[in-house]
Chain A
Amino acid sequence: MEDTDNILKVENLKINFFTRKGIVYAVDDISFSLKKGETLGLVGESGCGKTTTVLGLMKMVPTPGEITGGRILIGGKDIIPLSENEMRQKVRWEKISMVFQGAMNCLTPVYTIEKQMMETIQEHKNIERFQAKKCIINYLNLVGLPEDIIRRYPHELSGGMKQRIVIATALFLEPEIVICDEPTTALDVVVQAQIINLIKRLKKKLGLSVIFITHDLATEAEVADRLLVMYAGKLVEIGTNEQIYGNGGPVHPYTEKLLKATPRLHEKVEELSFIPGTPPDLVDPPSGCRFHPRCSEAMERCKKDEPPLIEVEPEHQIACWRNYHE
C-alpha cells in the first residue's frame, strides 16, 4: 500500500494513565492507518481504550494520561512533537476534528444554539460576526436542521437535533478527518439510522475520512469500510467490512464471540451467546494474550507469549496464536 493513500498513519502508539493505583496501559502499542475517503470503524468493549486512542490523535489526552511512545503521521508529518500552540493553530479542528462521546448532552444549557456555535467558531477562525452567522446557518442546513433553530436552547431540542449540532460544529473548520466517538449510542433506532445516513452523506459531499467508534458490531457493519477491533488496549483484528461480516467471518476468537453476542433482527436464535468474564484491569493486564482468561481456544502458549499482529490475507491482520504459522 502506497503511503500517499493514507491520510493518517499511527505507528506503535502508547498512551498510559499514571494513577495512584499504578500505570494504566490504556493504549498499548497500536498501529493502523486511515485511507483517504474511507470510514474506519473502531470497536470493542467498554474500557478497552477506544476513546483514549482517538484523544491521542487529537493530542487531547487528559491528565494523568500521556502519550508515551509512537508516531501519529498526518499528511506524512508526525504531530506528537508539536506544541499545544501549533496543534491549536494548524492541526486540531482544521485537519482533524472530533465529535466527542456524550457531547450532545454537554451543550451549555443557558446558551442559545447560535451562541454556542458562535463561541466555537470565533475561537478558531478570525471572522466577522455576520460572516460567522452565515457560516453557522450554512452548516445547520448541511446537517439537515432549519435555520430558526439558532434561537433555541439545548433543552428544547431532541437528542437527534443536538447530535446534529455537535456534528455541524466539528465541521466548521473544514477538517479532512472527522472522528465520531459513539455518536449514536444513546439515541433511538430511527434517530440512529438518520445520524448514520447524515454521516455517510457528509462524508461523500465533503470528501471526509472518518473514524467511527461504537461498541456495537451491528452499527459498525453499516458504516465502516474497514474495522479495527480493540481488546484491553491492543488491536486484535483489522479487516475490511467483507472480511469481518462476510461469509468467511472474523478470524480472531474475540471478534468471533463479539459477533455471536450481537443479536440479529431477522434471525431467531434459541440462545444468545456471550463472552464469560470481564475485560481485564489495565493496570495489571494478563500475561501473554490479554484475551486468554476468557478465550475458549486458549493454549499453553497464549498464557506466556504475546501474539504479534500478522497478516492472514491482504488487508486482514490478527493477533492470535491459533492462526499462527511460522
Chain B
Amino acid sequence: MSEPILKIENLHKWFPLRRTITQILKGEHVWVKAVDGITFNINQGEIFGLVGESGCGKTTTGKLLMKLLEPTDGKIIFKGKDVTHLEANKLKEYRRNVQMVFQDPYASMNPRFRAQDVLEEPLIIHQVGETRAEREKIVRRSLEEVRLIPPEEFMGRFPHMLSGGQRQRVATARTLVLSPSMIVADEPVSMIDLSTRAEILHMMKTVQRELGLTYLYITHDLSTARYFTDRIAVMYLGKIIEMGGADEIIDEAAHPYTRALIAAVCEPISGKSNTIKEIPIKGEIPSAANIPSGCRFHPRCLYAKPQCQEEEPILIEIEPGHMVACHYPSV
C-alpha cells in the first residue's frame, strides 16, 4: 500500500447554535456537532468515498480539508506536514495542491464567464503563467484532459451554450489548471440525469488515472460510490461508523446503519413492484444539535442493547482494513 497523502486525526467542527436567554444566563452552550471526531487516511492515487445521509457532515469535512473552515479540534496532515493551521502564504500554496469541485453542473459556473475565463481565473489569482499565451496553453491542456476537444471550440462558450455534462467538465478542468495533487468532489443530493452523471464519473475516473490524482469523493449514493471509489467511509451524525474497501463495505457491511443504507437502495432488477421492502431502521435522523448518548445510532437501531445507550463504540478493525464502530457488529 502506498503512503497516505492525507491524514485526518480526530477532526472536529462544532458550530455554535443561537442560545435562548436562559441558556446564556446559565452559561450553557449549544453546539451543532457537524463533524464530531473523525480519523482516516487517504492514500496517494486513491479514490476515497465519503458516504452518508443529508446533514451527516460530509460537506463540512470537505470544507475542513479545503481549509475553508477552521476545525474546532483535531489535525490535518498533508504530505507529511501539519496543515491544520496555516498562515496566508502557506494557505495559498496548499489550496493550489488541494482543489474542490461541486458536482452540480447547474450552479457551478458564473453565467457571464466564458469557459476560457472560468479556467483562467485561478491562474491569475495564483499568478501562474507569465503571459496570456502561456495561460492559454494551460487552459487548452486542461480542456483536453477533460475531453473537451478541440479546446478552441469550447473556450468561447458561455454556460448556457454547454450541456450539463460539458459544464461539469469545465468545472473539473478549472480544478486541473493548477495541477493539484488532490481533488475534493462534492456531489449533493441532486437532480442530475443518470446518463449525465455516468458521463461525469467516467470522465473523472479517466482524468484521475491519467494524472495519478487522489480524490475525496463525497456522495449520498452507494451505487455510484461502489463503482467509483477504492475505499468508502460511511458517516452518521458527524462520525465515521464504518470504513473499508468499497466492495467489502457493500458485500460485507457489518454496521447496522450501513446495512440499512444498502437495503434501501433501489436496483434496476425486475419483479419488485408488488413487494414492500423492509428497511431495517427506525424513525428519522436526529438533529446534529442533539446527538443521542452512547452509540449515536441507538434510537434507530433494531439491534440496540442497554450497553448501546451508555457507551460510545469506537472504530475497531474487524478484518484487515475494515473498521466498524458498533458493540454488536454482524460478521
Q: Residues of A at under 8 Å CB distance from B? A: 39, 45-46, 158-161, 182, 185-194, 196-197, 200-201, 215-225, 241-242, 244-246, 257-259, 261-266, 268-269, 271-278
The 0/1 profile, CB within 8 Å of A marked 1, for residues 54-68 of chain B is 100000000000000
Q: Are A241's CB and B273's CB within 8 A?
A: yes
Q: Chain A residues near B277: list those with CB within 8 A.
A: 193, 196-197, 222
Other-chain contact of A266, B220, B267, B276 (Cβ < 8 Å): B267
Greatest chain A CB density within 10 A among B165, B250, B273 is at B273
**Which of the segments B1-9, B195-203, B313-321 contacts the partner chain?**
B195-203
- B residues near A197, Cβ cutoff 8 Å: 276-277, 279
Task: For B269, list chain A residues within 8 Å (CB).
Answer: 221, 245, 264
Provided the pairs A159-B54, A189-B261, A190-B260 are in contact, do residues A221 and B198 lie with their beta carbons within 8 angstroms?
no
Given A186-B191, A190-B279, A225-B273, A261 contacting B198 (CB threshold 8 A): yes
10 closest residue pairs by CB, A with B = A245-B270, A274-B198, A193-B264, A274-B199, A263-B223, A278-B163, A261-B198, A218-B266, A188-B53, A189-B264
Q: A221–B268 contact, CB under 8 A?
A: yes
Q: Number of B interface residues, CB 8 Å?
A: 48
29 intermolecular pairs with C-beta atoms under 8 Å apart: A45-B196, A46-B191, A46-B193, A187-B189, A188-B54, A192-B264, A196-B266, A197-B277, A197-B279, A215-B193, A216-B194, A216-B266, A217-B268, A218-B223, A241-B271, A241-B273, A242-B271, A258-B195, A261-B195, A263-B221, A264-B267, A266-B267, A268-B227, A268-B246, A269-B227, A272-B202, A274-B199, A274-B202, A276-B199
B226 on the interface (CB 8 Å rule)?
Answer: yes
Query: Measured between C-beta atoms, what is the minimum distance from A266 to chain B in Å?
Result: 7
Query: Which residues of B approach A to under 8 Å, CB–CB?
Result: 53-54, 163-165, 189, 191, 193-199, 201-202, 220-224, 226-227, 246-247, 250-251, 260-274, 276-277, 279, 281, 284-285
Knowing that A45-B193, A189-B221, A272-B201 touch, tell me 12 more A-B residue pairs with CB under 8 angstroms: A46-B191, A46-B193, A158-B285, A218-B267, A224-B273, A258-B195, A261-B197, A262-B194, A262-B268, A263-B198, A268-B226, A268-B246
Which residue on A lies nearest to B165, using beta carbons?
A: A278
A232 to B224, CA, bound (A): 26
* Total number of residue pairs linking A and B with CB closer than 8 Å: 148
Contacts of A266 in B (CB 8 A): 250-251, 267
Among residues of A, the one whose C-beta sits closest to the C-beta of B188 is A186
- Give min CB distance, B89 to chain A, whole Å: 41
Distance of A190 Cα from B191 Cα, bound (Å): 17
Which residue of A has the minimal Cβ distance to B223? Answer: A263
A189-B222, A265-B223 given; A258·B194 CB < 8 A: yes
Chain A residues, CB < 8 A from B264: 189-190, 192-193
Q: Are A188 and B189 interface neighbours, CB within 8 A?
A: yes
